[in-house]
Structure 1
């Protein structure tokens, strides 16, 4: 039996499993079993966690397909919510979480524990970088976008259409092609951005190792980076995904980006895994 906690951030859901509970297991295989929507618990990924101190920990992220990811902004925030519940953290507390993309400091803005357990968290997401890039698809068509690093790779495509399509092709199809394109040695996350105003954008996300998702913390951060840097949108920027809105504050190149959003605990339990 594998004990777990489940949480979501704007519908982007994760399981938290301690390293002790997963000892002597193949984490990739375990993640595929646990994340399966119909035969497992169901999730976009598993955060394997180890305590490093009373308010600090380390996480290793495996996607639903078992692949390893450097970081998830939403997954990190879900872990912060779980840590809050475990230690009774309050608004104003800071949690330190080591990821494969570096240290992330999560500031707890609020805790709501009446009927459900939710927190609002501001996370320092590191210093992002962005540059223009063109990807040539197998059919010969070229897709213009921005390659963004937020500790993991992203390709951001700005669209004019309200359905987020690109040259008459659905964003899901383009996302799948770009994600696995040979230009990206370890694949890439893909975001499609529609600019609503200088202070707000809407996005769709094709996540590496998962597919279309309702939300992504690093995808939100990457989209905001691209739009603030190259399209003269303003910080703080409201970023709306199908799962909900998050806010990005970024002062431009060389400065750390801050991501603010909610995370909610869903369940605790145990799972049979062969």
Structure 2
């Protein structure tokens, strides 16, 4: 992977080495133990070179261009290609693109281009689909104080990339995993004997870790805040109930509406005064953005 690509990944908050591992695993899945593309090897001369464009087949928001560039660069390494590719990124992550827009251009051995094609497109299309869906939520919440949040409902192995795509689409990451934020949910409250007891136990055990508490009623929200919680998940509450909680809690805690939210009601929920809307569908239900690799005619 070229240093310029590593720098682009790091600038977006992505660990280049972790991205590398994701890509190598994906290439291994596609190329098998021998790292070969039997069709390209059989049909394309070893010395042939070409230029191809990554093209949007539909309108949306792009994310993952540096990741796609890394795929092309790494294929040369895993297949022991004598020559690598040159990737020129034309668009930028977070940009709205139209059908037919060229996002990047790649030049190099034709076998290498076609061997990398599917893995590059799988990651780029997936990330761009998440970014496109997230931007729709961000647009729906425009004019309110609320921001759309993602969740841990991500594709196994792709959480880092999907959460990056949420950021590119105008959303905000919640927690990366079970290790960086404590989230007290209903089962934790039942096991601990109540919201106050659960909160105090987390605080005593991990005093440095942020704590978020899921509540189901305005009374429980007040109890959690009085116990010391400063971030509440307001689960499956109506807009009227959310406004009641906002009035009762005030600025003593950040408030997140969660549970069954849809784009159709986003603006209504955002207008209640909550700080966040939590949407698992950003990562578990976003369709891909259709992107293709087109070889230029000779």
- TM interval, shorter chain, is under 0.3
Instruction: Answer 1 or 2: which has greater helix percent.
Output: 2
Bigger Rg, structure 1 or 2:
2
TM-score (ref. length: structure 2)? 0.26
Instruction: Answer 1 or 2: which has greater strand percent.
Output: 1
